[in-house]
Amino acid sequence: MTLNLKKAMMIALVLLVAVISVTVVAPWASSSKTHAGSIEQTENMTGDVLTLSGISAGTSATLSLLPGDICTPIAEQMAELSKYFLIILSALYLEKYLVTIAGIITFYFLIPLACILFCIYILTDGKKWREIAGKLALIGLIIFILVPVSSKLSALVYQSQQSRINNAVEEYNGLEIEGDEGGGIISELTTITNKTVDSVTNFLSSLVESLAVMIVASCLIPILVFILLAWIVKTIFAGT
């Protein structure tokens, strides 16, 4: 292992890249201001999820107070939907944090590590170190690009179906849930059947459609992107 002036200059340059990555690029890449657009879109989706979750829980509680058991199955279904909204909410918070964490992983760890391995390559002339360094740097850049892209795709899908969410909220605002307590048992059943069950059933359908849109946008798309990332990493390191 011989360290000449040329190798020393190359090592110094590579280490400078590592320092710039940690001190300059990483703070920028992990800043919430850098990803303000993606974070704002995610927060808007989060707000809608919280709204629909509250609507679902509130409607379920109201239905459970109606006389008789006619609306009980619908109330139970709406209570069940709250679990799915919680899953979606967790996925959205994870996506929000991953947007900034991707920058930390790439420019605080992977790029500097790649630089160190490249320095080892310069010192030892071992091509294997150069290949690993290049692959680490490439994977880091792919992670940094794919996470915001995933967030953007989710937002595009969500926005294209925004009307479904708005319709669900509008149906809830126009929903009338009541029972006629002064008309006897038969009158109660008739009122609930004709006015409440039909409107609540339609509202439940709109709520399920909104839930499906949110699952696709906040869960399925990130999962598919993660699978793509795993495949890319496996392909890059194949034969290493």
| AA identity, residue 85 | F
Under DSSP, the state recorded for 192 is I
**Most confident listed range (37-46, 47-56, 73-82, 114-123):** 114-123
Pairwise pLDDT comparison (68 vs 82), residue with the higher score? 82
Distance CA 120, CA 18 (A): 14
Torsion of CA 8, 13, 18, 23, to 10 degrees: 120
Domain ranges of the chain: 5-235
Residue 183 — very low, low, confident or very high, per pLDDT cuts 50/70/90? Answer: very low
Kindly report the pTM of this predicted structure.
0.73
Whole-number Å distance between alpha carbons of 158 and 163:
9
User: Nearest CA to 170 among 197, 199, 191?
Assistant: 199
- Percent of the chain with pLDDT strictly greater than 70: 85
- The tens digit of pLDDT for each residue in 10-19 reads 989 999 999 9
Rg (CA), the chain: 27
Mean of the per-residue pLDDT values for the chain? 80
Confidence of residue 240 (pLDDT cuts 50, 70, 90): low
Integer Cα distance of 38 and 145 in angstroms:
13
